[in-house]
Chains A and B, each alone.
Chain A
Amino acid sequence: MELNSEQLAMLNGEHGSAARKAMEILTALGEIYGAVDMVPVSSVQIAGVSYDNLGEAGLQFLFEMADGGGKARVLTTLNPAGMDVDNWEALGIDPLFAENQKRVIEAFERMGVVTTCTCTPYLSGNLPHYGEHIAWAESSAVCYANSVIGARTNREGGPSALAAALTGFTPRYGMHLDEDRSPTVTVEIAPTPANPSLTEDVRGDGSLRTMWFGALGKAIGEKLQGSEKKQVSYIEGIESASLEELKSFCASLATYGGTALFHMGGITPEAAVMTPPEQTIRVTQAEVESAQRSLGEAPSAKVDFVSLGCPHLSINEIAHLAELLDGKRVVKEFWITTARPTKHIADRMGYTKIIESSGATFAVDTCCVVAPIKGRFHTLATDSAKACYYATGKNNFKTRIMPFDDVVREAVGEGPGN
């Protein structure tokens, strides 16, 4: 790999031991993936922030980097932590875990990382522009940045994202290259008159279509999984998609298809300059419905945990939620997960007061994927396909997936899982 003088100086330890270690990680990855050189990045998103995932060994690595003079050279934000950093007691988090989680956040602070703790950095001040090279971890945000924004990032891991932050570089391969961003397969979404929910702009009752886009992401993701090489899909047949729907779709497609990039005709920016490939696969409404059924594996289970905010809720979703909860009483553990800056807006707008008066709990900085809640609940109700994957695989919950509005009905005791 070709390194310039600045990068060589880092590798030789002239910028401290943390920068050296970071450059070692980046050059080793560059060698594996055949990168010719490094590319400067302007934004980093670090994952692996929850102490539940990091463990003591991971925390020691962060201390080593902070002690070694590690300082973020570009705008760097964090993925969700294992708890609400301010309000962890209300979530039933163990004090020892809280102590360790705070040590993690402090280590990042020492390195100049902005500790927003969200999986939607693009909603909280870390919004790259079209064509910008970045180094993001968090698969849903990677998929969103590449596809919806048109920025360029590989799916980084925790250590490689931190290494990019401390050096300002990442090896140039994969999603940073034009040739790897071209679509390899066209995906045609086939609507049926009986259930046009995928192509209709807004459902008749005005509710959010986040669940349908999650199910669609799973249906497409699993079809792409069957092929030998990583596919970049060119999706046709979606007439409109809101920010929230794309956020849900990206999370699901990344979880079930390992996808870092897709193009969507008429919606994502690079689609306009790409040609849909001849090789075409069709996704039918029946397949989307089947994906949806497979996500709610416990159709008759009694729901004892309800959560919205995977990925973190936008202010638009919180406004809608406040409208639905106004004057209602929540009868189950109901977590609303979002980013701290979004919560501040909700406070100012009076949404927080309405939501908390109903008995729902804001779980800011965290989410039900990374919080240490394994085995604590029996059945989760959510609108998120990604949340279902982790609820079953990581936390041993059963799941029921339903539209956003129905999740709220479930929480107030009016849903089918009561």
Chain B
Amino acid sequence: MLAVRNVSKSYTRPDGEVHALRDVSLEVGPGELVVVRGPSGSGKTTLLLACGGLLRPDGGQITVCGESPYALGPDARAALRSRTVGFVFQQFHLVPYLNVLENVLAPALGGRAAGAVARASDLLERFGLTGRRDHLPGELSTGERQRTALARAMVNRPKLLLADEPTGNLDEDNGRAVLDAMTEFADQGGAVLLVTHEPAVAETATRALWLDAGHLRGT
């Protein structure tokens, strides 16, 4: 589903060059929930964005569902992302003026509009948000916001879910609910790559990896 081969990425900053990823390779297959742990600034978010086709690596190769996103033009890459990848962020990144249902439907603007409302309604029911569908993000609890973001990530039925500290802002119960949903997604044949600094999250993983100073190691 996701293949990362010898990927490197570095940033140039005023205090010198920072190597976010150094020769990183990993694979996430269908049914797998792979957790990458590491301290802050270890390159976790860079790895996730690169896998999602949002950040071109300096070297190496990435394929998502057999396609190399960086070999595609910007529009085709956006279409691939819309079709195959779902993102979940620690900060939720919900659009403040759209209600819950509309936030969940946002990815449908980029494709797969047919049946999107029905799929979104199913997801809201599944995540216990049906009664909140007309509420704005500002009116939701933190857990509800993350569940909304999760529903948004799944509305286009992606094959790969990329999650960046999805439980970082949640209490234990809400964190558990989000991880359960991701586990269920993986159990249904999806692939999940989750980056976090929380050790407990690794317990739900089918495989856990450690990223430190751009180097990826097995644990």
Chains A and B bind each other:
no
Please list the residues of chain A having a beta carbon within 8 angstroms of any beta carbon in chain B: none
